[in-house]
């Protein structure tokens, strides 16, 4: 079924806004792959991505989502587009060349593309990962380490990699406001990362309390249902237009219109 999903048009890309801390204005979108099967209904990525990895289909899916996301991003010239890559894709010999070629074919500046990789992808082959990330960064791409804190890496081990951003996993954000341990962990990660010159994006922000805590801690960006879930291209375009047309004006309570529009 997964082999036929691309051909049959069952796959779509949804876009979740990435929000800047101080202004609460969106600065980009993360591309999220979705699969609606006519037989099985909505299938979560946590289910079909491992299948794609095991069968080798991840490369076909990865190429497809890269092209779709870059094509769609032409409508948001002021936004970055953040794209996830699996460990299998990251290990491809032509990984960097493929991304460069696709971006050039659509005319998307490398500086507007953020490459998201996981700890697994980085630490399976440290020397190769270090070389690949350095090449990407030297070409102008942004590099983000996704789901930080859920694996076996730490900031001391990643400081030698060419990355621009740490993404704090939702599991730590969930406890903000209710668990002192979560606040301590997020605070430590954020301050250490900023000391290394890295930006910090907190994922899974769902409440105003979490948002305010993260702003006080110093996370540079946030994502989550508080600001908007992943939405189809048409809604993402509307979100961008609201951002552009609002010209960063604020409403009565001080919240930028563009951030409020996604709630």
Could you report the per-residue pLDDT of 43-76, keeping only the tens digit for each? Answer: 999 999 999 999 989 999 999 999 999 999 999 9
Per-residue pLDDT reduced to its tens digit, 13-39? 999 999 999 888 899 999 999 999 999
Contact call for residues 73 and 81 (beta carbons, < 8 A): yes
Residue 246 has pLDDT above 90, yes or no: no
Residue 91 has pLDDT above 50, yes or no: yes
**Interatomic CA distance for residues 216 and 160, integer angstroms:** 28
Rounded to the nearest angstrom, the gap between the alpha carbon of residue 115 and the centroid of all alpha carbons in its chain is 8
Give the lowest-confidence range in 79-93, 140-154, 184-198: 140-154
Helix extents (H) in the chain: 2-5, 45-55, 58-73, 87-90, 95-106, 119-123, 126-139, 155-158, 170-173, 180-195, 208-217, 233-246, 257-260
Query: Who contacts 147 (Cβ-Cβ below 8 Å, separation ≥6)?
Result: 118, 119, 167, 169, 203
Q: What is the band of 254 on the pLDDT scale with cuts at 50, 70, 90? A: very low
Q: What value does the mean pLDDT of the chain take?
A: 87
Length of the chain: 263
Residue 198 has pLDDT above 60, yes or no: yes
Query: Who contacts 105 (Cβ-Cβ below 8 Å, separation ≥6)?
Result: none
Residue 251 has pLDDT above 70, yes or no: no
């Amino acid at each position: 079924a997964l082999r036929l999903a691309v051909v049959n048009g069952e796959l779509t890309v949804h876009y979740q806004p990435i929000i800047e801390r101080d202004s609460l204005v969106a600065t980009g979108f993360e591309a999220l792959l979705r699969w609606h099967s006519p037989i099985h209904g909505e299938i979560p990525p946590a289910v079909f991505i491992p299948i794609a990895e095991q069968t080798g289909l991840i490369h076909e899916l990865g190429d497809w989502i890269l092209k779709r996301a870059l094509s769609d991003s032409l409508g948001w010239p002021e936004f970055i587009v953040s794209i996830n890559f699996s460990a299998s894709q990251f290990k491809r010999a032509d990984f960097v060349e493929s991304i460069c070629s696709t971006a050039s074919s659509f005319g998307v500046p490398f500086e507007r593309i953020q490459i998201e990789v996981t700890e697994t992808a980085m630490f399976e082959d440290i020397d190769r990962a270090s070389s690949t990330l350095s090449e990407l960064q030297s070409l102008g791409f942004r590099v983000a380490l996704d789901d930080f804190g859920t694996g076996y890496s730490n900031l001391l081990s990643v400081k030698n990699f060419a990355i621009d951003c740490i993404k704090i996993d939702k599991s730590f954000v969930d406890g903000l406001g209710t668990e002192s341990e979560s606040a301590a962990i997020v605070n430590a990660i954020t301050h250490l990362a900023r000391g290394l010159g890295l930006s910090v994006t907190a994922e899974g922000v769902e409440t105003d309390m979490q948002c305010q805590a993260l702003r006080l801690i110093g996370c540079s960006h946030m994502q989550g249902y508080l600001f908007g879930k992943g939405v189809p291209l048409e809604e993402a375009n509307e979100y961008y237009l609201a951002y552009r047309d609002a010209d960063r004006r604020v409403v009565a309570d001080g919240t930028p219109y563009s951030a409020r529009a996604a709630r």
